[in-house]
Amino acid sequence: MRIIDVHTHIWTDKLAPAAISAVGAQGHIGAFYDGTVSGLLAAMDRARIDTSVTLPVATKASQVRTINDWAATLVGHERIVPFGAMHPDFADPAKEIARMRKHGLTGFKMHPEYQQFEPQEPRMEPIYEAAIRNGMTIYFHSGGDVAFTSVRGTPKAFAEVLDVWPELHAVLAHMGGFRQWNAVPGRIAGRDVWLDTAYTLGHLPDEEFVELVRAHGVERVMFGTDGPWTDAAAEVAHLKSLPFKPAELRAILGGNAERFLAR
């Protein structure tokens, strides 16, 4: 069974120690690898994960180009699929999104809390337009975050975005909304959007997790760990322990992500 983790985080070797320390302290969470490429690969080996998607977050607009330049150096890696970054205050998102695509990046991450934006606000319109025009995926953090008390990326907000931008190719991490799961069935489930399992197992009761996966459609749910903030091997074992049929488990652990990445 091929396993693909669609939600991980890494930094350059130089930046990783400070990033791990800062994010961990802000969210009161511990890391299970050191945030470097080599650390991620070692964690993947321990969990028998074949491929990981890396998702950088630009907390300032000035970081976007530098992050994307580094992400582009990982394009073609045998086990890592890098995504880029975008920020709602970036001066010319259309140009940068086209540049990402030219360099082989197929999507980018955005985080409503770290970047302080509402998904449905006008600032995001040129980003959505450019993503659609360039065939790029936007990978959203959705729901709450352990480091923040605010919740901007609610299921309601993302449902409004999907209503206005039906051609948008998007992933809503954390099963459509971390700690907002009660709103996902009525707002998101069944819609043409991908969900991932990152930082959900163990936070959402197992029975409710399985119900939510099936309510949305097993074929649109992908395995993610949110590494380094979870133990990847434990996440794989937890998912395998749930009452999914073998075909459903194969789809969630890797089959769906193969289709997602082949787009």
The side-by-side arrangement of strands in the sheet containing 4-8 is 4-8, 51-54, 80-82
Instruction: Give the whole-angstrom CA distance, residue 246 versus residue 98.
Output: 40
> Domain total for the chain?
1
pLDDT of 1? 86
Q: How far is CA 97 from CA 134, 146, 156, 172, 253, in A?
A: 7, 29, 26, 19, 29
- Other beta carbons within 10 angstroms of residue 119's beta carbon come to 25
In the block, tokens 């001066």 appear at 91
Per-residue confidence (pLDDT) for residue 83, from 0 to 100: 98
pLDDT at 189: 98
CATH number at residue 80: 3.20.20.140
Query: Which residues, other chains included, contact 104 with Cβ-Cβ below 8 Å and sequence gap of 6+?
Result: 72, 75, 76
* Cα angle value 178/237/234 (rounded, 5°): 65
Domain limits at 132? 4-262
Q: What is the pLDDT of residue 263?
A: 83
Token pair belonging to 65: 């180009």
- Give pLDDT, residue 217: 98
In a structure prediction context, what are the per-residue pLDDT tens digits for the chain, which is 263 residues long? 899 999 999 999 999 999 999 999 999 999 999 999 999 999 999 999 999 999 999 999 999 999 999 999 999 999 999 999 999 999 999 999 999 999 999 999 999 999 999 999 999 999 999 999 999 999 999 999 999 999 999 999 999 999 999 999 999 999 999 999 999 999 999 999 999 999 999 999 999 999 999 999 999 999 999 999 999 999 999 999 999 999 999 999 999 999 999 98
Decide if 212 contacts 181 (C-beta within 8 A).
yes
What lies within 8 Å, CB to CB, of 185 at 6+ separation is 212, 215
What is the structure's pLDDT at 118? 97
**Contacts of residue 181, Cβ cutoff 8 Å, sequence gap at least 6:** 143, 175, 200, 204, 208, 212
Q: Which two tokens stand for residue 164?
A: 């206005």
